[in-house]
Each structure stands twice: as structure tokens, then as C-alpha cells.
Amino acid sequence: MTRCWIFNGLVGAALLIPVELGCLRGLSLPLVCTVTSLLLGLGMLCGAILGMQEAVVMHLGLGPWQAAAVRAVAAVLPLALVSRTLFDGGFASTLAIAPTAPYWMPLGGFVCLMLALRLAHPWVMTSRRRRVAAALLVALLVLLEWANRTLYPSEYRDVHALLVLASVVTSALAVHLGARRLRRVAPARKHSLGMVAAAMVLSTGCALGLRYGLHNEQVRWALATSRTHSRQIARVLRVVGEAASEEEAGRAAAQEGQACQGTASDDPSGACAAPDESCCPPEATNWMQAQAVQALLRQGRTQHLLLLSVDALRADVLAAPDAEREFPHLIGLLRSARHFRRAFAPSAGTDVSLASLLTGNINPFVPVDQTLIEGAAAAGRRTHAVLPHEVLRWAGQTLLTRGLHSFDRVITDPLQQDVGSHTTSSATTDLGLAFLDQHAAELAHRPFWLWLHYFDVHEHDQIEKDDPALHRVLGGRPHGRAQKYRALVKVVDQEIGRLLAALQDRGLWERTMVVLLSDHGESLGEDPRFPDNHGHYVYNALVHVPVAIRLPGVGPAMVDEPISLIDLTPTILSLIGAPPGQAGDGRSLLPYLVDEPPPGAPPRRPIVMNESEQYALLLWPHKLLVRPADRLVELYDLEADFQERHDLSGTHGHKVRELKRLYQRQPRVPMDRSARARQLRELAAQPPPRR
């Protein structure tokens, strides 16, 4: 009985192999062997479990309900594992059923499956009905394959793994019910020895295929950049061996740390040395007392500050040849400011990036005495922000609103949580102008801090084309995903233009410093390495962001020094004359805001980027990218290859080791975005008790 089901499982999995191979690029013999081994191995496992269940039913002579319960019990463990993460999303975590999902979901799935099996088993006892049931299972298999390969392929990884399992089991059941000829050649008792030998050979072949295939970097790369069943199976195998992997990683980190300590004094580049930003050479201290610098700081203390953040705005969109025509106000702002062309977000997600901006820390989830906004309030400014409710929910309302005298909440998703239904740029600008009008008398003698976060670009996949603002830009023309993204950038551009014109009409423009930034970039489906939208990875398309600082009386300039968003924290605090808080990880950009920089080139400084699936360290011009779970390393020379197309890790091993050692010395950032983790972040973001 068990041998027959193993046979069914193998045939069912084998039917999926051609589809799987068709979804992969650059097929090679090691890749084909690995994919075949993964699917056949899963098929054998599923067949063995199904066979053991049937053997228990037959051996014990169970009744219909008991037999259905035994057949359904195997679904409990996979459902229990999926239930841990299924409700971690922003909308799902707010549902009343979310906290108890680990309990009711496995039980509910078991009960539903048991009822379905109890009702279906008597119905398929005749051969004609078997064929009908097999056809229905084939239709279900097609539906599962379509859903698993097309719906949110880079999200809900546990759900996708469960669907892979469901596809193999469904295929095996279809073989069992419909392919009678295959069952006739299934092992008879007199062929037991031969079948055992064949099973051993096949098992050994699968084990060898996995052992050597998953150690092949090209195979791992092909799986990591594909959206296939093999990738999900390989990930589950890694999770099973997670304890051993963590122990091995710990030993490797210790060895790298010892190596760094042992070679730091001999390393002329100083790459192993921990950065010491608090130590300033005497010439830099003297430069701070220069007349031009002190004049800039005195001016900044009395000027207003407008912080404009555009969610999910890629820097390369504003560098396109037709950008001036499409986005005249954003381009005009860049050309009137100190434009930092090599600015990088510390993450590809809003939560980490905005938290890092407000704290100036690589790890923004540790308690801080003073945030950027609290510094502005301590400097005597009237502080106000206009923030989307979705951003407050995901990035943490406690941290984002610390130090604000008031804030407006913009609802972007009134119909379904986390699904934008309309553009809100106009409302964001209106609320910002309402703040200026409401406090006009006070702001005549008191500088303001106004933060407007524009969210429409982030929602480019959700806002429908019949939205009035979007429709005006698109004009009814056919469009793809990239065109819709650019159209929403244009919507934001128009509203920022209206805001800046209003500042001029109110006589505030020449007394207002403007800081423009984005919290992360966006994937537009142009590269298989990227996720569906953003997050998970830190390639340049996802973290290279526009940053500009416009100061009245300071001429525009292009700045090529690589910077991070955390550098804006000490820079802005210095400009507005805020009292110093605890030292962060950022470096002040004041030397790039005056025409007479301090003598000598600034010391090299690493820029760190962290995401859930990948981390990066940039020591210009080299950028190291590491996917720890996939054991994949990439190295790029951004001076010559900013699009990150030509991996140098195979020929520059010494540089890879150097940057890895340097990354080990940076603060670790917890990338858990579950509902529980967000609650803990909220607790850590509470302001310290006032003495």
C-alpha cells in the first residue's frame, strides 16, 4: 500500500517538473538535476505519508469518520506553521481572528478537510466517478499552479510553500484516481525487492542532487531569482536546518571578527577599523568656526524648515531625460538646492527608513533620548506633520509623532485597510497650507517645522485609473505599470508645485529651508532579482533615493559624496540650532552646504543597508550585497556599474572579505515586521521619563 502511494507521489511530482523547468531561465544540467531532486523528493515524502495513512486505515479497519480523521490529520502541521505568519500584514493583523489564528486555523482546516474526505470517499467508489474526481483534481491543480505562480509571488512565503505541498498532493491523488494503468504497473508483492532497490537508488539520487546542487552557486542564484516551487522547497529545507546554520554562522562571524582584530593594524585601508565619527581633526574644528559656516548656522536658527518626503520615489526617475518636462517642480527644486546624487536609504521599507531618519541610527529600534522632531521642538519651533495613517500604522505612530505639537492624519485606504483607493496629494498639500494659515500670526516671529509625507507614488498598483487626479495625468491613454508609476509622480509634482507657489505668495519662500527626500525606491518589474514592489532586498532600484537641501542664499550644486538618510539627522539639527542629543550613526553634511569645505578629504565611511532577505554595505565605489539564507554574495563597482549588472565577487574575493568584516562591526537591525514585533517597537519608541 505504502509503495503504491510512493509511486503515485513520484508520478504526481514528475508531472510538475516540465512546468517548473519552463519557469526557470538559463537551464543547466546541475539546475535540472536540483529541480528534479527537489520535486521528486517532495513527491516521495507526500506519497509515503499518504501511504502510511492508508495503511493505518486498512490495518485498524476504521469506520468512515475515523478514516477521514486519519487522512486529514497530516494537514494540521503545515496549517499550524502557515498560521504563524499569515496574519502579520497590516490589514490582517487588525482582524479579530488574528491573535487566535495559530489555534483555530489548524483545527478548522482539519475539520473542513475531514468533512470533505468523509463526503467524497463514498462518492468516488465507482470507476466512472473516479475519473470525474480525477478530472476535478486536475482542474484544482491548474488553479493551484496559477495562484501559486502569479499571485503575490514575492510575498506570503509560507502560504506559497503550503500551495506547493497542496499541488504535489493533488497531483498524486489525481494519478491515484485516474491513471489505472499506472497503478497496474505499481509494485506487486513479488517485485518488492526490486522496488525497494529502485526506491533506494532514487532516494540516493535525490539526496546527491540536493547535496551538490544546492552547493552550486549558479543553481542557488537561479532558484533565488525565480518564482518557482523549487525555491519554496529549498527555503523549507533551510528552515529545517536553521539551528545548524545559525551555529555555523555564529562560528563564521567569530572567526571573521578575530581575523579583523588580528589584521586591523596591518590593513592600510582601515576597513576593519570601526568608524569613529565623534572624533574630529583639529582642522575640522577650526573650520566650524569659519565665518561662512557660522553665518549659515545663525541664518538656519531663524528660518522655517519644510520637510518633503515622497514615499517610494526612485532617484533614477528624476534623472530620466524627460524628467524636466514631466516633473518640472521637483526638478526645479533639485536644481535650486544642494542635490545629493548618491543618496541611499538604510532600508527598502518605510518603517526602517523613516525611523532611521528620525533617530539618526542604523538600528532605529533602540530607545533614544531625542528624535529629530523633538530636537526641532526643543529649538523653539512650532512642529506639525501631515502623515498617512498607513505610514503611522506600519512605521509606528509613537516614534513618528514624538515632538510634534500637532499632526494631521490622511486616510488613504477608507474602503480596505492598506489598499489605497484614491490620490491624497491634494489633501496633503491642503492640510499643510491650512497649518500655515492657522498659525500665520505665530509664525511671523516663530519658525515652523512642517513635514509633509506624500503617499500616492507608493500606491501606484492600487489607485485605479479613474481617480480624477490620475485620470487628468494619464488622459485616458493606455499605460503599463511603469507609466502609471510616473503618472503618480507627476500628480505629486503638481501638488508640491502648488505648495511651493503658496509659500512664495505668503512671503515665506525666502525664509524657508526645504529638505526633499524619499524613504525608499520601487520595483517596476524590470528585474527578476527584485520583489513585486519594494522591501526584502537592497538593490539600487530599491534604495537609491533623491535627497536635496535647499537653503535660502546658498547656491545650488551637485554633490557626489555617497550619503545615507541617517546623515540628514545631525545635519538638520545643526542647521536649526537644536540642542545636541545622543550621538547617532549619521555624519553631518554641513561641509557640502557651504562653498568652502573643510581642508582635506573626509575619511571613508561605510553606508549600511538592511532588509529581511539581504543586507548591503557600500564603501564607495564598491557595494557588497549578501543574501544570508541563500548563501549568495554579490559585489559591484557602482562607479562603473550603477545598475548592478556585473558581479565582481568571483574575482575580488579580498574586497568581499574586507566588506563582510566591516559589516560585522555595524549595529544589527531586527527586520521582523510581524504584528508582535511592531508592538515591541512601539514600546521601545516611548520617550524616556522626564527628570
- Give SS3 for 169: helix
- pLDDT by residue (tens digit) across 163-179? 999 999 999 888 888 76
Lowest mean pLDDT across 103-107, 282-286, 462-466: 282-286
- pLDDT by residue (tens digit) across 512-551? 999 999 999 999 988 888 888 899 999 999 999 999 999 9
Question: How far, in Å, are 93, 393, 411, 422, 424 from residue 415 at the CA level?
Answer: 16, 16, 10, 10, 14
Q: Which of 84, 673, 71 is nearest to 394 (CA)?
A: 673
- pLDDT by residue (tens digit) across 368-400? 999 999 999 999 999 999 999 999 988 999 999
Q: Which of 581, 577, 580 is nearest to 379 (CA)?
A: 577
Q: How many C-beta atoms lie closer than 10 Å to residue 530's C-beta?
A: 21
More confident: 419 or 612: 612
What secondary structure letter does DSSP report for 187? P
Strand pairing partners for 340?
Answer: 547, 559
Enumerate domains of the chain plus CATH numbers. 2-240 (no CATH), 310-581 (3.40.720.10)
- pLDDT class for 192, splitting at 50, 70, 90? low
Environment class of 273 (CB within 10 Å of its CB; exposed 0-12, middle 13-18, buried 19+): middle
- pLDDT class for 429, splitting at 50, 70, 90? very high
- Give SS3 for 35: helix
Is residue 625 within a helix (H) or strand (E), and if so which, with residue range? strand 622-627
**Residue 473 pLDDT > 50:** yes
- pLDDT class for 268, splitting at 50, 70, 90? very low
Lowest mean pLDDT across 272-286, 325-339, 379-393, 632-646: 272-286
- pLDDT by residue (tens digit) across 111-130? 999 999 888 888 877 777 88
Q: How far is Cα 451 from Cα 307, in angstroms, rounded to an integer?
A: 5
- pLDDT class for 277, splitting at 50, 70, 90? very low
Indicate the length of the chain as a whole number: 691
CA 384 to chain centroid: 29
**Residue 233 pLDDT > 90:** no
pTM equals 0.82
**Residue 74 pLDDT > 70:** yes
pLDDT score of 194: 55
More confident: 511 or 229: 511
pLDDT score of 142: 93
Q: How far is Cα 127 from Cα 131, in angstroms, rounded to an integer?
A: 7
Q: Residue range 88-115: average pLDDT? A: 81
- pLDDT class for 276, splitting at 50, 70, 90? very low
Residue 245 neighbours by CB under 8 Å, 6+ apart: 238
Q: Residue range 643-652: average pLDDT? A: 93
Q: How far is Cα 604 from Cα 623, in angstroms, rounded to an integer?
A: 14
- Quickly tell me which residue has 526490486 as its cell: 194
Q: Residue range 435-442: average pLDDT? A: 94
Q: How far is Cα 36 from Cα 230, in angstroms, rounded to an integer?
A: 9
Is residue 283 within a helix (H) or strand (E), and if so which, with residue range? helix 282-288
**Residue 633 pLDDT > 80:** yes
- pLDDT class for 581, splitting at 50, 70, 90? confident
**Residue 440 pLDDT > 70:** yes
More confident: 18 or 262: 18
pLDDT score of 544: 98
> How much of the chain, in percent, has pLDDT values that exceed 70?
85
**Residue 284 pLDDT > 90:** no
What secondary structure letter does DSSP report for 395? I
Mean residue pLDDT of the chain comes to 85
Question: How far, in Å, are 273, 564, 635 from residue 659 at the CA level?
Answer: 11, 17, 10
Range list of β-strands (E), 21-156: none
pLDDT score of 242: 53
More confident: 662 or 45: 662
DSSP string of 571-604, one letter each residue: HHHHHTTPPP-S--S----GGGSSSSPPSSPPPP
Q: Which of 364, 7, 409 is nearest to 198 (CA)?
A: 7
- pLDDT class for 599, splitting at 50, 70, 90? confident
2-41 burial code (b ≥16 CB/10 A, e <16): bbbbbbbbbbbbebbbeebbeebeeeeebbbbbbbbbbbb
- Give SS3 for 464: coil
Q: Residue range 140-157: average pLDDT? A: 86
**Residue 271 pLDDT > 60:** no
- pLDDT class for 408, splitting at 50, 70, 90? very high
Q: How far is Cα 225 from Cα 219, in angstroms, rounded to an integer?
A: 10
Question: How far, in Å, are 348, 360, 423, 492, 571 from residue 354 at the CA level?
Answer: 11, 10, 21, 19, 16
More confident: 451 or 233: 451
**Residue 263 pLDDT > 60:** no
Residue 575 neighbours by CB under 8 Å, 6+ apart: 296, 297, 300, 305, 513, 551, 590, 593
Q: Is 306 left (phi over 0), alpha (psi -120 to 50) or beta?
A: beta
